[in-house]
Structure formats: structure tokens, C-alpha cells
Amino acid sequence: MKDLIVVKKALSKETCVLLARQFIMSSEILCDKNPGLYYHGDDIVKKSFSWYAPLCFESLADTLIKDIVEEKLGEKLYTTYSYGRISYNGSVLPKHIDRDESEYAVSCLIDTDRNWPIYFNVNGKEKKLKQEIGDIVIYRGTKLEHWRNPFLGTEQIGAFMFYVSDKNKHLKNDGRPFLGHPVKPKKN
């Protein structure tokens, strides 16, 4: 696999509008009805609303995006999980690599009012990528360090989808009984 694969307009504008509206509606419901259960922010990106396994992105990960990623990589993959995030002004994604369940990662830009580049460390060199709404970036999440500098816009919605190859298929569904399950079981 090439270090990075960019697929322009992987999702149509109409699909992105629908997903953005659904994710925003979900965030409003969850934050209003369940204060403290879901919140603005997570352990990685402050100044954000983040949600593990939102149904709109779980289904996206296991259908349209999975088909594209399998075609581009030429191998069967297993969906592990998805993650959605609404990043607000000042958000920063620190440099990191992903956990084992993120062997192959996909960053999909759903909506934004200002381009927020994602950076990768590729063979010791910084590579900056700008996505347009509907574009996806496929990369080895467990191998490539990636980050984003402070967001200068107002709001950006990103969908992140993760997969493993046959050698790691024991990690499929991220330890959950099925995709869409909102909680990863605790290990004893």
C-alpha cells in the first residue's frame, strides 16, 4: 500500500449534507438529554464534540467507505469501529499513531467552514493534505504519525473509520458483539 491514498469526492455533496445534519442532530439530543454522559471534548481533541460509534458513521464505515478502501487496497477488510467529531475553533489533534484496531484508517471530511489540513509523518518528512468535503484519506493508522494544528474555522465535522486485515480479524467490531453497539466491553 502507498503511504497515503486520497480519494476525491468519495461521498457526494448530498450524502455529506445528510450525514452532517444527522450527526449535529444527534449531538444536540445527546448533549441536551444526557448531560455528563456525552460531552464536548474527548481525551484527544479538546474543544470538540466526539462520539464513538455513531450509527450514521458505523453504517457508512461498513458500506460505502469499506467498499472503496477494499478496492483501493485490493484486500478484504474487517470494520472495527467509527468515530465522529465536531471540532470547534482552537481544536488541535496532537501527533499520534492509532491503536491496533486501526490498522487501516480513513479520515472523511463531512462538513467545514474552513479547510483544516491533516499532517502525516511519511518517512521522516511532513506531508500536509487538504481535503474538500466528501474526500477521504486512507492511511495506515498504526504506522503513520498524524496530527492537525489549531483549527482556525468555526466548526468542522469529520468521520473516522477503522479497519483491520485478515491477520487481525480477531479485532473486528472493536471487541463489541456487533457494529453500532455503543460501548466497547470492559476487559476483566
Tens digits of residue pLDDT in 33-87: 555 544 455 778 888 888 899 999 999 999 999 999 999 999 999 999 999 999 9
CA distances from 4 to 36, 157, 175, 184 (A): 37, 21, 27, 28
- State the Cα angle at 150 between 27 and 24, rounded to 5°: 15
Residue 128 grid coordinates:
500536509
Q: Count how many Cα atoms sit within 13 Å of the Cα of residue 71 in the half-sphere of its side chain.
A: 8
**Amino acid present at 46:** K
pLDDT at residue 37, as a whole number: 47
pLDDT in tens, 114-164: 999 999 999 999 999 999 999 999 999 999 999 999 999 999 999 999 999
d(CA 137, CA 109): 9
Instruction: Give yes or no for a contact between 39 and 51, defined as CB atoms under 8 angstroms apart.
Output: no
Residue 185, pLDDT > 90, answer no
**Cell match 439530543: residue?**
29
